[in-house]
Amino acid sequence: MKLVRLPLSALKVSGIGACDFLHSVCTNDIKGLKPGEGIGTAFTDRFGKVIAISSVYSIGGYYVLVSDAAAHKPLMEHLKPSPLDKCAVEDLSGTYISFSSMWCAKRGEIIEGEFAGAKTLDMGNCLIDRADFLVPVEHAERFWEKAFEKGAAEDYEVYRIGKGLPEHGKDYDSSCMVLELGLDNIISYDKGCYTGQEIVARMKAYGGELPKRVVMLRGDVKKGEKLFKDGKEAGNVTSSAGGFCIATVKKGFHSKGAELDTESGKVVVG
């Protein structure tokens, strides 16, 4: 199990209204979570544009949200409950340090572990086969020193891109509609109202008309390269490593198995 220092956003939502509040502002069914379980979801604005994609975990009485580090600030700004919501949102970044491994025993599982007498949060990420650990700041260096096998951020990039998981600030931002990420398992179409729900439902009904989609490609190309098909510009590469890349590809060019051209050669939509 290769452990990497992976900066993440970690937020705690607590209070008697925490479940109802989260359920009303994210795309998946939070009310169906039992303590010890997690689910992948997205937070969108009223236009259905993505603020963050996150793993949300229920821990008997409160919830923990784990997201990409670049999504931390916009997500904090988005999650501002009113007194009527009867809950509070807390930034855990000053309390815990995050570590991750490129392996996961069970997606969506969370337990309260222990290291050096201090409680840790050990989570199976809900979006990718990855285990995330939140370790109290005062024990973080020792936790790292005790790691059986250490990895590098470059190794994780190859892993992430090969799995086709887009990252905030690299492969998508607030200009991207949630359905353009191609992660349908982060959306419940039966849960009822949430911020941006009407737009998401409308786009789902006309899914073939999405103007672009974020996809994984197979091919050794560089970040920033443009994609072409029969001389027409088809998109651009946003992340690249280890013979894989993630790209934003225009409508009509992103079907699985489609071949696209770059300055470096050909790539195939995975």
Q: How far apart are CA 115 and CA 128, in angstroms?
A: 25
3-state secondary structure of 235: strand
Instruction: Say yes or no to pLDDT of 207 above 90.
Output: no
Q: How far apart are CA 6 and CA 38, in angstroms?
A: 20
As a whole number, mean pLDDT of residues 59-69 equals 95
Q: How many CB atoms lie within 10 A of CB 17?
A: 18
234-262 pLDDT tens trace? 999 999 999 999 999 999 999 999 999 99
Average pLDDT, the chain: 94
3-state secondary structure of 225: coil
Instruction: Say yes or no to pLDDT of 178 above 70.
Output: yes
The DSSP-derived string for 159-212 is HHHHHT---BTTTB-TTSBGGGG--GGG--SSS---TTHHHHHHHHHTGGG-SE
- According to the model, what pLDDT value does residue 205 have? 85
pLDDT > 70: what percent of the chain? Answer: 99
Instruction: Say yes or no to pLDDT of 88 above 90.
Output: yes
In which residue are the tokens 């379980």 written? 37
116-162 pLDDT tens trace? 999 999 999 999 999 999 999 999 999 999 988 898 889 999 999 99
- Provide the β-strand partners of residue 91: 11
Q: Are 233 and 127 in contact (CB under 8 A)?
A: no
98-109 pLDDT tens trace? 999 987 768 999
21-54 pLDDT tens trace? 999 999 999 999 999 999 999 999 999 999 999 9
For the whole model, what pTM was predicted?
0.94
As a whole number, mean pLDDT of residues 176-185 equals 92
* Domains located in the chain, CATH noted: 2-163 (3.30.1360.120), 211-270 (2.40.30.110)
3-state secondary structure of 147: coil
Residue type, 49: K
